[in-house]
Amino acid sequence: MEPINPTYVKTFAPPVMEARRWIAGQQFSAERPLINLSQAAPVDPPPEGLVRAMTEAMINDPTSHLYGPVLGMDALRAELAQQWSAGYGGAIAPGQVAITAGCNQAFTAVMSTLAGAGDEVILPLPFYFNHKMWLDMEGVRAVYLPTGDDLLPDPDRAAALITPRTRAIVLISPNNPAGVEYPAALLRTFYDLAQRHNIALVVDETYRDFHSGAGAPHDLFADPDWERTLIHLYSFSKAYRLTGHRVGAIMAGAARLAEVEKFLDTVAICPPQVGQIGALWGMRNLGPWLAGERAEILARRDTVRREFARLPDWRLLGCGAYFAYVQHPFAMASDALAQRMVADAALLVLPGTMFGPSRAQGGTGQAEATLRIAFANADQAGLVRVVDRLAGLDP
């Protein structure tokens, strides 16, 4: 075999691609078509006005086809700084904003400035698999922070995990895969913990637009020295259906972004220009439309909560934003069960083994007992059918 970086060999394969292989070659009837609940991404196109803005830019603006600034379009950075400052009650300057080719690139870019081989980063369980994959590929040790039945991380348990090699704590809220929203007070406690230990608190708010609470989800940007501790990540993919156009964002100190610029310049040179044009147009024009999208996602969340009451043997551990995280009642491990569900129920979901260590890897058994259901692409009637199919499972 040709030489391969051993950290890549040890890193698990992309979970969504693995799940797609489970349905390759499968036949599903018109009476019971496959319901794909595996990926947390909208499949509908962006609103017509946003598509028109991108199309007109491609036709009329020659610069849309050229390299742009490595840290993103000045206008988009300024718009984010202005809207986030107003929304979070803080002071964010355009120079503290960078645009990336999606939020995954935002994570890899900031993590590359924080940690190298042999360093440690604390990840609550269940983790987001791409975060774990990047740390593994870089030789950074992911230190697991177990969670209880409420799936909320405990700052005291996190404090006990901090060592001289710890570089960051990573939190996702609303959470992927668990769907839970971290209370503002909990985020503040983690911020204070990270500040005391002079480590970074990385808060991934990809799903912030679908938070159930009114107002800002936290007050961390109100700290005038927020950039010394907080790194905020965001994605336009979910808000404006721009998944294929790859537009994400980082908010961090200007000195850190100068290091991020080195990473981005060597990986992609610049974020996609047309996607940024769409994101900027969306921020300026789609406020009411996005509010409607949020209301629909929250209605689907409520449907999941109501319908799961019909499944007394199942436990709905977390439900919010795009996700329900459930404990199944079967003796079968979740990875085997998820594959069986394709044939037995025409449902494609991801097993908890893709979001945490198995017992063989030192886990508590949570991974084998849980499934993630990404419900953003199933309407309310479809979610009723999902629960009907789960009720009929007998593995």
The candidate with the shortest Cα–Cα distance to 345, out of 372, 285, 385, is 385
What pLDDT is attached to residue 1? 61
Q: Are 149 and 143 in contact (CB under 8 A)?
A: no
Q: Residue 101, CB half-sphere, CA atoms under 13 Å: how many?
A: 17
Max Cα–Cα distance, the chain, nearest Å: 60
Give the separation between CA 120 and CA 142, rounded to whole angstroms. 6
The candidate with the shortest Cα–Cα distance to 48, out of 378, 246, 270, 286, is 286
Structural domains of the chain in order of their starting residue, each with its CATH number: 6-45+289-391 (3.90.1150.10), 49-285 (3.40.640.10)
What pLDDT is attached to residue 26? 87
- In total, the chain counts a number of residues equal to 395
CA angle 172, 177, 182 (to 5 degrees): 40
What pLDDT is attached to residue 333? 95
Global pTM reads 0.94
390 contacts: CB under 8 Å, gap ≥ 6: 311, 314, 345, 347
Query: What's the Cα-to-Cα distance from 55 to each of 84, 214, 246, 283, rounded to whole Å?
Result: 27, 34, 16, 17
DSSP 8-state assignment for residue 13: P
**Token pair belonging to 185:** 């007070």
Give the separation between CA 246 and CA 101, rounded to whole angstroms. 5
**Token pair belonging to 343:** 């044939």
Rounded to 5 degrees, φ, ψ at 162 are: -75, 130
What pLDDT is attached to residue 255? 97
In b/e form, how buried is each residue of 25-55, taking b as 16+ CB within 10 angstroms?
eeeeeeeeeebbbbbbbbeeebbeebeebbe
Cβ count near 114 (within 10 Å):
19
What pairing do the DSSP bridges indicate for beta strands 347-348 and 35-36? parallel
What pLDDT is attached to residue 355? 95
DSSP 8-state assignment for residue 365: S
48 contacts: CB under 8 Å, gap ≥ 6: none
- Which residue ranges in the chain fall short of pLDDT 70? 1
Would you state the torsion angle of the CA atoms of residues 303, 307, 312, 315, taken in this order, to the nearest 10 degrees?
Answer: -30
Q: Are 203 and 88 in contact (CB under 8 A)?
A: no
What pLDDT is attached to residue 332? 93
Give the separation between CA 7 and CA 5, rounded to whole angstroms. 6
What pLDDT is attached to residue 394? 83
DSSP 8-state assignment for residue 127: P
Q: Look-up: residue for tokens 């886990």? A: 363
Q: Residue 51, CB half-sphere, CA atoms under 13 Å: how many?
A: 7
